[in-house]
Amino acid sequence: MKDEEILRQQAIELHLKGTAIVDITDKLGKSRQWVHKWLNRYKSGDDKWYLSLSNAPKKPVMAVSEDIENAVISIRKKLNDQKYAQKGALNILYEFERLNIKPPSISTINRIIHRNGLIDRGTKREAKKKSIQITSRMSSRWILWALSTSKVAADIISLILLRLSLIMREFTPYQIRLQKV
Protein backbone atom coordinates (compact mmCIF):
# COMPACT_ATOMS: atom_id res chain seq x y z
CA MET A 1 0.00 0.00 0.00
CA LYS A 2 1.09 3.55 -0.61
CA ASP A 3 1.98 5.82 2.29
CA GLU A 4 -0.91 8.16 1.50
CA GLU A 5 -3.43 5.30 1.61
CA ILE A 6 -2.03 4.17 4.98
CA LEU A 7 -2.42 7.72 6.33
CA ARG A 8 -6.07 7.77 5.18
CA GLN A 9 -6.79 4.50 6.97
CA GLN A 10 -5.01 5.70 10.11
CA ALA A 11 -7.09 8.88 10.13
CA ILE A 12 -10.32 6.85 10.05
CA GLU A 13 -9.06 4.42 12.74
CA LEU A 14 -8.23 7.37 15.00
CA HIS A 15 -11.64 8.92 14.38
CA LEU A 16 -13.40 5.64 15.17
CA LYS A 17 -11.45 5.46 18.47
CA GLY A 18 -12.95 8.85 19.35
CA THR A 19 -9.95 11.09 18.64
CA ALA A 20 -10.90 14.71 17.83
CA ILE A 21 -10.40 15.96 14.27
CA VAL A 22 -7.91 18.60 15.46
CA ASP A 23 -5.78 15.95 17.16
CA ILE A 24 -5.87 13.77 14.00
CA THR A 25 -4.69 16.71 11.86
CA ASP A 26 -1.86 17.45 14.31
CA LYS A 27 -0.77 13.83 14.53
CA LEU A 28 -0.85 13.10 10.77
CA GLY A 29 0.21 16.57 9.55
CA LYS A 30 -2.85 16.96 7.33
CA SER A 31 -5.55 19.61 7.11
CA ARG A 32 -9.03 19.49 8.66
CA GLN A 33 -10.56 19.42 5.16
CA TRP A 34 -8.42 16.40 4.25
CA VAL A 35 -9.66 14.46 7.27
CA HIS A 36 -13.31 15.34 6.51
CA LYS A 37 -12.88 14.34 2.86
CA TRP A 38 -11.70 10.85 3.78
CA LEU A 39 -14.23 10.55 6.59
CA ASN A 40 -17.02 11.24 4.07
CA ARG A 41 -15.53 8.70 1.66
CA TYR A 42 -15.44 6.13 4.47
CA LYS A 43 -19.07 6.82 5.34
CA SER A 44 -20.09 6.27 1.70
CA GLY A 45 -19.80 2.51 2.32
CA ASP A 46 -17.41 1.75 -0.55
CA ASP A 47 -14.94 -1.04 0.24
CA LYS A 48 -12.09 0.81 -1.47
CA TRP A 49 -12.87 4.26 -0.07
CA TYR A 50 -9.18 4.92 0.70
CA LEU A 51 -8.08 4.73 -2.97
CA SER A 52 -7.69 7.89 -5.04
CA LEU A 53 -10.30 8.51 -7.71
CA SER A 54 -9.32 9.45 -11.23
CA ASN A 55 -9.42 13.16 -12.05
CA ALA A 56 -9.65 12.47 -15.76
CA PRO A 57 -12.82 13.60 -17.48
CA LYS A 58 -15.36 10.84 -18.01
CA LYS A 59 -15.84 11.92 -21.62
CA PRO A 60 -13.32 13.91 -23.71
CA VAL A 61 -14.67 17.43 -24.01
CA MET A 62 -13.26 18.34 -27.42
CA ALA A 63 -13.56 14.93 -29.09
CA VAL A 64 -14.48 14.95 -32.76
CA SER A 65 -17.64 13.05 -33.54
CA GLU A 66 -17.26 9.73 -35.32
CA ASP A 67 -19.29 11.01 -38.28
CA ILE A 68 -16.91 13.94 -38.87
CA GLU A 69 -13.85 11.70 -38.52
CA ASN A 70 -15.29 9.17 -40.99
CA ALA A 71 -16.13 12.02 -43.40
CA VAL A 72 -12.55 13.35 -43.24
CA ILE A 73 -11.19 9.85 -43.88
CA SER A 74 -13.51 9.17 -46.81
CA ILE A 75 -12.82 12.59 -48.41
CA ARG A 76 -9.07 12.02 -48.04
CA LYS A 77 -9.31 8.57 -49.64
CA LYS A 78 -11.49 9.95 -52.45
CA LEU A 79 -8.93 12.70 -53.11
CA ASN A 80 -6.10 10.13 -53.05
CA ASP A 81 -7.85 8.17 -55.80
CA GLN A 82 -7.93 11.19 -58.11
CA LYS A 83 -4.81 11.47 -60.27
CA TYR A 84 -3.77 15.12 -59.81
CA ALA A 85 -5.89 16.07 -56.81
CA GLN A 86 -4.61 18.17 -53.96
CA LYS A 87 -5.30 16.12 -50.86
CA GLY A 88 -4.17 18.22 -47.90
CA ALA A 89 -6.19 19.47 -44.95
CA LEU A 90 -7.10 22.71 -46.73
CA ASN A 91 -8.58 20.82 -49.68
CA ILE A 92 -10.51 18.54 -47.33
CA LEU A 93 -11.87 21.69 -45.68
CA TYR A 94 -12.96 23.03 -49.09
CA GLU A 95 -14.63 19.70 -49.84
CA PHE A 96 -16.59 19.97 -46.57
CA GLU A 97 -17.74 23.46 -47.56
CA ARG A 98 -18.67 22.24 -51.04
CA LEU A 99 -20.85 19.55 -49.44
CA ASN A 100 -22.44 22.19 -47.11
CA ILE A 101 -21.13 20.44 -44.00
CA LYS A 102 -19.72 22.48 -41.11
CA PRO A 103 -16.00 21.62 -41.30
CA PRO A 104 -13.65 21.05 -38.37
CA SER A 105 -10.56 23.22 -38.12
CA ILE A 106 -7.52 22.54 -40.29
CA SER A 107 -5.51 21.39 -37.28
CA THR A 108 -8.28 18.93 -36.37
CA ILE A 109 -8.28 17.58 -39.93
CA ASN A 110 -4.49 17.18 -39.75
CA ARG A 111 -4.78 15.30 -36.42
CA ILE A 112 -7.39 12.95 -37.91
CA ILE A 113 -5.21 12.31 -40.98
CA HIS A 114 -2.15 11.56 -38.82
CA ARG A 115 -4.10 9.42 -36.33
CA ASN A 116 -5.45 7.22 -39.13
CA GLY A 117 -2.11 6.89 -40.96
CA LEU A 118 -3.20 8.68 -44.13
CA ILE A 119 -0.01 10.72 -44.53
CA ASP A 120 2.08 10.10 -47.64
CA ARG A 121 5.76 10.26 -46.74
CA GLY A 122 7.01 10.83 -50.30
CA THR A 123 5.20 14.07 -51.12
CA LYS A 124 8.03 16.45 -50.15
CA ARG A 125 10.56 14.42 -52.11
CA GLU A 126 8.31 14.37 -55.19
CA ALA A 127 7.82 18.14 -54.94
CA LYS A 128 11.59 18.67 -54.88
CA LYS A 129 12.01 16.50 -57.98
CA LYS A 130 9.43 18.53 -59.89
CA SER A 131 10.77 21.91 -58.89
CA ILE A 132 13.08 23.85 -61.13
CA GLN A 133 16.68 23.34 -60.15
CA ILE A 134 19.46 25.73 -61.01
CA THR A 135 22.87 24.19 -60.98
CA SER A 136 26.26 25.49 -61.90
CA ARG A 137 28.33 23.72 -64.52
CA MET A 138 31.82 25.05 -64.45
CA SER A 139 32.07 28.74 -63.73
CA SER A 140 30.98 30.09 -67.10
CA ARG A 141 27.70 28.28 -67.76
CA TRP A 142 24.35 28.04 -65.97
CA ILE A 143 21.96 25.23 -66.78
CA LEU A 144 18.32 25.26 -65.83
CA TRP A 145 16.64 21.90 -65.48
CA ALA A 146 12.88 21.67 -65.66
CA LEU A 147 10.77 18.55 -65.74
CA SER A 148 7.68 20.32 -66.98
CA THR A 149 7.29 21.14 -70.69
CA SER A 150 4.02 23.08 -70.56
CA LYS A 151 3.64 26.56 -72.08
CA VAL A 152 3.30 28.20 -68.66
CA ALA A 153 6.48 26.52 -67.46
CA ALA A 154 8.33 27.66 -70.57
CA ASP A 155 7.21 31.25 -69.95
CA ILE A 156 8.34 31.07 -66.33
CA ILE A 157 11.67 29.61 -67.36
CA SER A 158 12.24 32.37 -69.90
CA LEU A 159 11.52 34.98 -67.21
CA ILE A 160 13.97 33.26 -64.88
CA LEU A 161 16.59 33.21 -67.61
CA LEU A 162 16.04 36.91 -68.22
CA ARG A 163 16.43 37.61 -64.48
CA LEU A 164 19.57 35.51 -64.32
CA SER A 165 21.10 37.41 -67.21
CA LEU A 166 20.32 40.70 -65.41
CA ILE A 167 21.74 39.48 -62.11
CA MET A 168 24.85 37.93 -63.62
CA ARG A 169 25.94 40.61 -66.02
CA GLU A 170 29.17 38.79 -66.90
CA PHE A 171 27.09 36.02 -68.54
CA THR A 172 25.25 36.63 -71.77
CA PRO A 173 21.80 35.14 -72.39
CA TYR A 174 23.48 32.80 -74.89
CA GLN A 175 25.66 31.33 -72.13
CA ILE A 176 22.55 30.60 -70.07
CA ARG A 177 20.75 27.76 -71.75
CA LEU A 178 17.84 25.43 -71.08
CA GLN A 179 18.19 21.68 -70.97
CA LYS A 180 15.54 18.96 -70.62
CA VAL A 181 16.22 16.01 -68.38
The 10s digit of each residue's pLDDT in 121-161 is 655 555 555 444 443 333 334 444 444 445 666 677 777 77
pLDDT greater at residue 116 or residue 144: 116
> What mean pLDDT comes out for the span 92-121?
87
Distances (CA, A) of 59 to 37, 44, 51, 63, 149: 25, 24, 21, 8, 55
Q: Beta 176-180 vs 133-137: how paired, if at all?
A: unpaired
- Phi-psi label, residue 134: left if phi above 0, alpha if psi -120 to 50, beta otherwise: beta
Percentage of the residues of the chain whose pLDDT score is greater than 70: 69
Q: Answer yes or no: is pLDDT of 35 > 60.
A: yes
- Phi-psi label, residue 29: left if phi above 0, alpha if psi -120 to 50, beta otherwise: left
> What mean pLDDT comes out for the span 72-82?
88
Q: Answer yes or no: is pLDDT of 165 > 70.
A: no
CB 6: neighbour CB atoms within 10 A?
11
- Identify whether the C-beta of residue 22 lies closer than 8 Å to the C-beta of residue 32: yes
> In this predicted structure, what is the pLDDT of residue 47?
85
